[in-house]
Chain A
């Protein structure tokens, strides 16, 4: 009997939501690490009971937690994220040099094949990894020390490496995205990196089509078609058909092409989901209506999905890591809001149920499909 486990990171702890394959009745466990910001919780594809959580605090700094029993119990593991060598400066908001300082881990990406190998995306932007299940972390300095690194500037949320995507067909290929530097690709397992931002335009830049400097909010890849990427940029929903070598806009008829989250249907690589947000200065849904938009044609033509979602007086945000899909026969879509709701659609977005509606602000949502 299959089941699903939804891993939710919030402003005040982590929650584990479980259900059978019907996805109608839910058990809620938490808060784990109550009172701490939990930016991300993710399970290992190679061992679904192995979970990792990024727990942070303005007072006490970074903690990484590991569970070996699907989130029932947790153990803190190593939390020393030390940049390799003496990090030079990046560029501050005002254009002046600013020292690289570790602040927190935004995203944890366990290896597809080894539960002890995990990649961590940090603020200030850097890629770390552990090869011993979290007992020690080492920076993979090739990204931070890229020749463009000193020109990277933070977005409003900081200079954060928030997206890590592993190519299931090519163990050497890794994609990352950094606000507000852009997207990068490695073909050698993270040793060296190439900016992949051709085709992006950011009007706030002196050169709107610059090589770096784009505020990429999130990138999604379908595991069966790893050369095709979808991106929610600060403004614009973008698509690449050549592994990021070039991008073209697929915003089409969206009511706003600003947003954070983007994800792809588990069984149809051309079916894509975004949550339009009104603007960069008003992080709320357009017209107070919370709508997921679905394209079944790989972009450009989008339909609003509203059944079960609030269609008036709704002023929440959906953050970049707060949408996920399960792999059940009828694909489930999940997202969390800054208002503390976690919504689930057991039918590819046609209708939505509220799993929980009063959590702390949701930072991240991940889903595990368990057999």
Chain B
């Protein structure tokens, strides 16, 4: 199971508390994890990635094991610690404002 940590507003929208877990078939990548997340929680479609292009929304960032994966391809394999469930995949809302 892949653990995913969501921003508070998306946890509210998906009606979950704390981390969510999803099963991923095949290679565990940013894309496959997000696909699995959106299949399980369809209300999150369009809130993390653009509906059409599937590109990351500008104020969303992805992290795993201390690394920023926001600007890398969505098709890179996630770290082993995320795949074995010991570390979460982080979906983070960018801090903005002032």
CA–CA, A63 to B9, complex, Å? 12
Chain B residue contacts of A62, Cβ below 8 A: 46
CA–CA, A80 to B46, complex, Å? 7
- The answer, among A58, A59, A63, A81, for a CB contact under 8 Å with B7, is A59
CA–CA, A58 to B60, complex, Å? 10
A348 to chain B, nearest CB (A): 40
The reply to whether the CB of B10 lies closer than 8 angstroms to some CB of chain A is yes
CA–CA, A60 to B46, complex, Å? 7
- Using known A-B contacts A36-B9, A57-B9, A82-B51, determine if residue A63 contacts B43 with beta carbons closer than 8 Å: yes
Which of A44-64 touch B at CB < 8 Å?
57-63
- The answer, among A36, A76, A82, for a CB contact under 8 Å with B43, is A76
Which of B30-87 touch A at CB < 8 Å?
43, 45-48, 51-52, 57, 59-60
Contact B46 A59 (CB under 8 A): no
B8 to chain A, nearest CB (A): 8
Flag A70-95 by CB within 8 Å of B: 1 or 0 each. 00000010011110000000000000
The reply to whether the CB of B94 lies closer than 8 angstroms to some CB of chain A is yes
- Using known A-B contacts A59-B7, A59-B57, A59-B94, determine if residue A80 contacts B13 with beta carbons closer than 8 Å: no
- Using known A-B contacts A57-B9, A59-B93, determine if residue A79 contacts B57 with beta carbons closer than 8 Å: no
Query: Closest A-chain residue to B14, C-beta based?
Result: A76
CA–CA, A266 to B73, complex, Å? 57
A99 to chain B, nearest CB (A): 12
CA–CA, A76 to B51, complex, Å? 16
B interface size (C-beta, 8 A): 17
The reply to whether the CB of A304 lies closer than 8 angstroms to some CB of chain B is no
Contact B9 A35 (CB under 8 A): yes
Contact A63 B51 (CB under 8 A): no
A85 to chain B, nearest CB (A): 12
CA–CA, A81 to B10, complex, Å? 19
Contact B9 A61 (CB under 8 A): no
Chain A residue contacts of B46, Cβ below 8 A: 61-62, 79-80
Contact A60 B51 (CB under 8 A): no
Chain A residue contacts of B94, Cβ below 8 A: 59
Chain B residue contacts of A59, Cβ below 8 A: 7, 9, 57, 59-60, 93-94, 96
A-contacting residues of B (Cβ < 8 Å)? 7, 9-10, 13, 43, 45-48, 51-52, 57, 59-60, 93-94, 96
* Additional A-B contact list (8), CB under 8 Å, known A61-B46, A79-B43, A81-B51: A35-B9, A59-B9, A59-B59, A59-B60, A59-B93, A60-B10, A63-B43, A79-B46
**Subset of 15 A-B contacts with CB under 8 Å:** A36-B9, A57-B9, A58-B59, A59-B9, A59-B59, A59-B60, A59-B94, A59-B96, A61-B46, A61-B47, A61-B57, A63-B13, A76-B43, A79-B43, A80-B46
